[in-house]
Structure 1
Amino acid sequence: MESIKSQSYEVHLGELAEAALRQHIAKKNYSKVFLLVDENTKMHCLPVFKKILDHPIDSIFEIQSGEENKHIQTCLEIWEKLSGHDGDRKSLLINLGGGVITDLGGFVASTFKRGIDFINIPTTLLSMVDASIGGKTGVDLGALKNQIGVINQPQMVLVFTEFLKTLDPRQVVSGYAEMLKHGLIKDAPYWDELKTQGNFTDAKSIQRSIALKNDVVLQDPTEQGLRKILNFGHTLGHAIESYCLENPNKKTLLHGEAIAAGMILEGYLSHELKGLSRLSVQEIKETFSQHFEPVELDDDDIKAILKLLKYDKKNSHGDINFVLLQSIGDAVTDVKVPGELFYKAFAYYKE
């Protein structure tokens, strides 16, 4: 399967990924090779990865899985371990895991000794098609998503679809949400294909999603304009995710579960403000409702979620900026939403 070339690195899949990793390690002559895992990837993915790498690993650092561990204290622990194990500027950090591992590991590598090389090996569908691509690294600030971080590119991203067999179905479906988003913002035929497709974990679909995101990132690497379309569903979705993360009475949501809710809500806003057809709004709602349970939200929950919008990274000069759809496959950025429409959107979501 053909590799995908980004700015300064490539995304390799399958056998090409294995060959690329071995060639890179042999060529670069790293002083140390470190590996970052969580308890799940240590158990399910590490044995397979050791055979693929075929090179000694100097130290393996383990963190706890889950968004609640994606914070600066975890970074501090890894920085101290890197230092304690004689890491230097010629060291390599390999991030083997989902979006928390690749986001946090990339940030740790980008800031240790003012930057060491890192390689992302995503093990969840979400991280394969989204989190590990595009150079965004960082951590949360309390429950607020991705407030601290830098854009810095990995040496390469390696995708091995066999790791998907280690996931529970809920994790797989979480990644499906981001794949559907790629169709909604940029590729209507892909949306049509994905929403009716029984198997979305095949290498062809994964490669297509990666290529769609990569094409956007190449045109706007630092998110000055076009790249913002990748945030469709994320303004309200991140607020919902953050709210449920910090509220002990709410079920903690996976990223894709929160973004699915966000896309239904922002689909409704698209109809009200950008002319997205009512038929398309209903199609979006029905598609996500087939795969994701509705998030139970009362009026107090909604008020608290809307207060969190002020922390969204796309905001500028006090304005909350949304990505909305003019039609399926055609997104626009920097749309300001009147406050009363939020409540109408949540009312539609709960219907």
Structure 2
Amino acid sequence: MESVKSQSYEVHINELAKAALNQHIAKTSYSKIFLLVDENTKAHCLPIFNEMIDFPIDSVLEIESGEENKHIRTCLQLWEDLSNLDGDRKSLLINLGGGVLTDMGGFVASTFKRGIDFINIPTTLLSMVDASIGGKTGVDLGSLKNQVGVINQPQMVLIFPEFLKTLDPRQTKSGYAEMLKHGLIQDSSYWNDLIEDGDFTDAACIQRSIAIKNEVVLQDPTEQGLRKILNFGHTLGHAIESYCLDNHDKKTLLHGEAIAAGMILEGYLSHEMRGLSKLSVDEIKKGFLKHFDKVDFTEDDIDAILQLLKYDKKNSHGNVNFVLLQEIGKAVTDIRIPEELFQKAFAYYKE
């Protein structure tokens, strides 16, 4: 399967990925090779990875899995580990894990000794089609998502769909939400194909999502304009995710579950603000609720979620900026929403 070429690196899939990794290590004189895992990828993915490589790993670093561990304290421990294990500027960090691990591993590598090389090997569908692509790295600030980080590109991203067999279905479906987003913002035919119960874990579908995101990032690597469309569903979705993470009486949502709700809500806002047809809004809602459980929001929940919008990374000059749809397959950025529409959007979601 053909690799996807970005500006400074490539995304390789299956056998091409294996060959690319071994060739890169063979021709690059790294002083140390570190591998970052969590307890899940150590148990389920590391044995598979060890069968793929033709080179030794100097040290395996382990962190605890979960969004609640994506914070600066974990980074501090990793920086200390790298230093104690004689890591230097010619070291390499290979990140073997989901979006939390590749985000944080990329950030740790980008800041240790002012920057060492890193390679992402995503093991969840979410990280394959989204988190590991595009160079965004970082950590959360408390329960607020991705408030600290840098944009820095990996040496390569390697996709092995066989790792998806190690996941429970809920984790896999979380990545499916991001794939549906790619269709909504850029490719209506892809949206139609995905929403019809196809095998979204198929390598061809994964490659298509990667290609869509890569095409956007190539045109706007530092998110000055076009790249903002990748945040459709994320303004409200991130606020929902943060709120549920910080409130123990609420069910903790996976990223894809939260942004699925966010895309329904922002689909409704698109109807009100940009003329997205009611037929399309209903199609989006029906499509997501076919695959994702509806989240129960009280009035107090909604008020608290809306308060979190002020922390969104797309905000500028005190304004909360939304990505909306003009039609399925065409997104627009930097839209301000009148406050009264938020309640209408949640009412539509709850219908």
TM-score interval, normalised by the smaller of the two chains: over 0.9
Aligned-partner Cα distance in 2 for 1:327–1:314: 22
Q: Report the counterpart of residue 337 of structure 1 in structure 2.
A: 337
Q: Report the counterpart of residue 185 of structure 2 in structure 1.
A: 185
Q: Secondary structure of the residue that 2:201 maps to in structure 1?
A: coil
Q: Please give the residue correspondences for 1:88-237 in structure 2 after superposition, counting only pairs within 5 Å.
A: 88-237=88-237
- Residue 295 of structure 1 deviates from its aligned partner by 1.0
- Residue 203 of structure 1 deviates from its aligned partner by 0.3
Q: Report the counterpart of residue 48 of structure 2 in structure 1.
A: 48
Q: Secondary structure of the residue that 2:62 maps to in structure 1?
A: strand
Aligned-partner Cα distance in 1 for 2:80–2:312: 31
For residues 146-196 of structure 1, the C-alpha deviation after alignment (integer angstroms, 9 at most, x for no partner) is 000000000000000000000000001000000000000000000011100
Aligned-partner Cα distance in 1 for 2:124–2:284: 24
- Residue 296 of structure 1 deviates from its aligned partner by 1.1
Say whether residues 1:73 and 2:73 are aligned partners: yes
Q: Report the counterpart of residue 290 of structure 1 in structure 2.
A: 290
Aligned-partner Cα distance in 1 for 2:287–2:54: 43
For residues 116-167 of structure 1, the C-alpha deviation after alignment (integer angstroms, 9 at most, x for no partner) is 0000000000000000000000000000000000000000000000000000
Aligned-partner Cα distance in 2 for 1:2–1:131: 20
Q: Report the counterpart of residue 12 of structure 2 in structure 1.
A: 12
Aligned-partner Cα distance in 2 for 1:289–1:261: 9
Q: Report the counterpart of residue 304 of structure 1 in structure 2.
A: 304
Q: Give the unaligned 5+ runs of structure 1.
A: none
More moved, 182-191 vs 46-55: 46-55
Aligned-partner Cα distance in 2 for 1:76–1:291: 38
Say whether residues 1:251 and 2:251 are aligned partners: yes
Aligned-partner Cα distance in 2 for 1:53–1:86: 23
Q: Report the counterpart of residue 25 of structure 1 in structure 2.
A: 25
* Code of the aligned partner of 1:174: S
Aligned-partner Cα distance in 1 for 2:86–2:182: 41
* Code of the aligned partner of 1:334: D
Q: Secondary structure of the residue that 1:315 maps to in structure 2?
A: coil
Aligned-partner Cα distance in 2 for 1:252–1:61: 27
Count of paired positions: 351
More moved, 105-114 vs 26-35: 26-35
For residues 223-282 of structure 1, the C-alpha deviation after alignment (integer angstroms, 9 at most, x for no partner) is 000000000000000000000000010111100000000000000000000000000000
Q: TM-score, normalised by structure 2?
A: 1.00
Aligned-partner Cα distance in 1 for 2:204–2:12: 13
Q: Secondary structure of the residue that 2:7 maps to in structure 1?
A: coil
Aligned-partner Cα distance in 1 for 2:303–2:37: 37
Q: TM-score, normalised by structure 1?
A: 1.00
Aligned-partner Cα distance in 1 for 2:304–2:7: 39
Q: Secondary structure of the residue that 2:21 maps to in structure 1?
A: helix
Q: Report the counterpart of residue 61 of structure 1 in structure 2.
A: 61
Aligned-partner Cα distance in 2 for 1:153–1:37: 20
* Code of the aligned partner of 2:283: E
* Code of the aligned partner of 2:318: G
- Residue 53 of structure 1 deviates from its aligned partner by 1.6
Aligned-partner Cα distance in 2 for 1:50–1:78: 22
Q: Give the unaligned 5+ runs of structure 2.
A: none
CA RMSD, 1 decimal: 0.5
* Code of the aligned partner of 2:190: Y
- Residue 54 of structure 1 deviates from its aligned partner by 2.1
- Residue 198 of structure 1 deviates from its aligned partner by 2.8
* Code of the aligned partner of 1:338: P
- Residue 197 of structure 1 deviates from its aligned partner by 3.3
- Residue 7 of structure 1 deviates from its aligned partner by 1.0
Aligned-partner Cα distance in 1 for 2:184–2:89: 41
Aligned-partner Cα distance in 1 for 2:92–2:136: 18
- Residue 55 of structure 1 deviates from its aligned partner by 1.1
Structure 1 stretches (4+) deviating beyond 3 angstroms?
none
Aligned-partner Cα distance in 2 for 1:280–1:63: 42
- Residue 311 of structure 1 deviates from its aligned partner by 0.3
Q: Report the counterpart of residue 2 of structure 1 in structure 2.
A: 2
- Residue 201 of structure 1 deviates from its aligned partner by 0.3
Aligned-partner Cα distance in 2 for 1:117–1:104: 14
For residues 83-132 of structure 1, the C-alpha deviation after alignment (integer angstroms, 9 at most, x for no partner) is 00000000000000000010000000000000000000000000000000
Aligned-partner Cα distance in 1 for 2:328–2:10: 29
Q: Secondary structure of the residue that 1:137 maps to in structure 2?
A: coil
Q: Secondary structure of the residue that 1:121 maps to in structure 2?
A: strand
Aligned-partner Cα distance in 1 for 2:141–2:239: 13
* Code of the aligned partner of 2:83: S
Q: Report the counterpart of residue 326 of structure 1 in structure 2.
A: 326
